[in-house]
Amino acid sequence: MFNRILILFMINSLFVNAQQRWSLTDCIAYGRKHSQLAVEARIWNKSFREQQKQTLQQFLPSVSGFFNLSFQHNATDAYSHQAGIQLSQDLGLLYRRRHQAERIKNTISQADENISFAQNTIEEGTLRVYINALTLKRRAEVFNHYYRRNLRLGEKTGKETHYFMTALQAEDRLNLQAARRNADLALLQLKQLINLDMEQSFEIVDIPVYINAYEGQEEVYRASIPIDPTINQAKYAVLIAEKNKILSEIDLWPTVSLLYQNTLGWDPGNGGIYQNFFGIGVNIPVFNGRTGRTQLNIAKITLELRQKQLEHLLRNLEDAVTLIIRSLHNARETHKEARDALEKQKLEFLIMEQQFINGRLSNADYLSARNWMINAEFRAIDARYNYVLTAKLLDFFVGETL
């Protein structure tokens, strides 16, 4: 019985620990679903869909009922009343409806892109904060490594270095505590970004270095255009501006409407009254023509602006792709150089550390060598994660799962 309980406890512990480890993919998936930015975008999308229903309802025939009651005060006081139904339909709305329906459809599509934009913003932000948290975590591990190493070294050196080693260990403790606080703060920032409970047990997983397959600028640029929500938003903005221009032109047209009225009433002098009325109304804009033309000019200017904005965004995307590819090449070379320099520095430091143990190296020279070693570790860490970040950003541009 005891063995069964122990096994169940171990399985549960493994499950809990597995839940505490969050990969980059886990954080991005959670943030895309639960972040405040994505939630607000989905709410706005619902609002636009309700506006679509409201717009389509405006094109239904106008039906109204009326009831009139009057009182005549003369020699014979009498009441009279009328009641009926009035039905009207603007014939021009049938043509206008098609363009307004297409405009609201494009608005809905643009709202869908708002959700994608919010999710992409969270995805890129999560990537950057996650990489920063990994960098600070590794820096804290470096401080911890050299603090432990210094404790073991203090046992091997003589009394003449006792005060120096004690002071160095105290400094190491302070550096380690500060590094751990920075690493914990980075984790809190990551939780805040993806809208995760601050009390949630949380541990991030390292990302290995890998070779990114997307090296051709033209290939990356072509692949990034159809999936970039900012570009798609701008495209829909152009389509909406085109529809606004057409609708402004329609507003300058004469309008023709059909009118039908059915009236049933009672009059003291005539008794029951029953009337049917059918007519055609024509409305020609005269005094409001200048206002309509002004609206048309505004629509034309807005369309030109949206087209220029789309061209500008396409150029920015191409520049961003070019920059990220060149940055990836530089980051790869920097990572290789920092890694090679670190290996060389390790060999030199081991020799100097042994000389310090044997009393053939001064405190100042050992401290200088040790600081050089720690800085080499930091440069290698920074170069490594900058390379990973740049490679992941290139994947992000082409829509690869991060």
- Choose the most confident range, by mean pLDDT, from 196-200, 231-235, 282-286: 231-235
Tens-digit pLDDT profile for residues 353-365: 999 999 899 999 9
Instruction: Give me the pLDDT at residue 8, please.
Output: 45
Enclosing domain of residue 338: 2-397
In 91-237, which ranges are E strands? 203-204
Residue 349 reports pLDDT greater than 80:
yes
241, amino acid identity: A
Instruction: Give me the pLDDT at residue 25, please.
Output: 93
Lookup result for tokens 């980075």: 186
Mean of all residue pLDDT scores within the chain = 82
- Choose the most confident range, by mean pLDDT, from 56-60, 166-170, 225-229: 166-170
Over residues 130-144, the mean pLDDT reads 97
Side-chain half-sphere of 161: how many Cα atoms within 13 Å?
23
The answer as to whether 105 is a domain residue is yes
- Choose the most confident range, by mean pLDDT, from 17-21, 242-246, 338-342: 338-342
Residue 207 reports pLDDT greater than 90:
yes
- Choose the most confident range, by mean pLDDT, from 50-64, 225-239, 261-275: 225-239
Burial (0-12, 13-18, 19+ Cβ within 10 Å), 59: middle
The answer as to whether 153 is a domain residue is yes
Instruction: Give me the pLDDT at residue 1, please.
Output: 46
Instruction: Look up the pTM and report it.
Output: 0.77
The answer as to whether 300 is a domain residue is yes
The answer as to whether 150 is a domain residue is yes
Angle at 170 between CA 169 and CA 171, to 5 degrees: 90
In 133-218, which ranges are E strands? 203-204
Residue 19 reports pLDDT greater than 60:
no
Residue 80 reports pLDDT greater than 70:
no
The answer as to whether 402 is a domain residue is no
Domain count, the chain: 1
Query: Tokens standing for 156?
Result: 């091997």
Confidence of residue 13 (pLDDT cuts 50, 70, 90): very low
The answer as to whether 152 is a domain residue is yes
Contact predicate 388/209, CB 8 Å: yes
For residues 362-379, b (16+ Cβ closer than 10 Å) or e, as one string? ebeebeebbeebbebbbb
Over residues 145-171, the mean pLDDT reads 90
Report phi then psi at 391, rounded to 5.
-65, -40
| DSSP secondary structure of 20-64 | HEE-HHHHHHHHHHH-HHHHHHHHHHHHHHHHHHHHHHTTSPEEE
Distance (Å, whole) CA 102 – CA 296: 18
Instruction: Give me the pLDDT at residue 108, please.
Output: 83
Residue 143 reports pLDDT greater than 80:
yes
DSSP 161: G
Residue 55 reports pLDDT greater than 70:
no
Over residues 214-243, the mean pLDDT reads 86
The answer as to whether 86 is a domain residue is yes
Confidence of residue 41 (pLDDT cuts 50, 70, 90): confident
| DSSP secondary structure of 162-209 | HHHHHHHHHHHHHHHHHHHHHHHHHHHHHHHHHT--TTS--EE-----
DSSP 69: E
Q: Which of 18-27, 287-296, 375-384 has the lowest mean pLDDT?
A: 287-296
CA pseudo-torsion sign 39, 44, 50, 52: negative
- Choose the most confident range, by mean pLDDT, from 27-31, 64-68, 104-108, 269-273: 27-31
Q: Tell me the Ramachandran region of residue 268: left when phi exceeds 0, alpha when psi lies from -120 to 50, beta otherwise.
A: alpha
The answer as to whether 338 is a domain residue is yes
Over residues 63-75, the mean pLDDT reads 55
Distance (Å, whole) CA 240 – CA 402: 33
CATH of the domain at 311: 1.20.1600.10
Long-range (24+ apart) CB contacts under 8 A made by 249-254 are 249/296, 250/92, 250/95, 250/96, 250/99, 251/285, 251/292, 251/295, 251/296, 252/285, 252/289, 252/292, 252/293, 252/296, 253/92, 254/282, 254/283, 254/284, 254/285
Residue 328 reports pLDDT greater than 80:
yes
Quote the percentage of the chain above a pLDDT of 90: 44
Pairing of strands 203-204, 21-22: parallel
Tens-digit pLDDT profile for residues 236-266: 999 999 999 988 888 777 766 666 666 665 5
Over residues 206-228, the mean pLDDT reads 82
Reported as type and span, the H/E element at residue 78 is: strand 78-90
177 vs 35, residue with greater confidence: 177
Residue 91 reports pLDDT greater than 90:
no
Residue 138 reports pLDDT greater than 80:
yes
Residue 119 reports pLDDT greater than 70:
yes
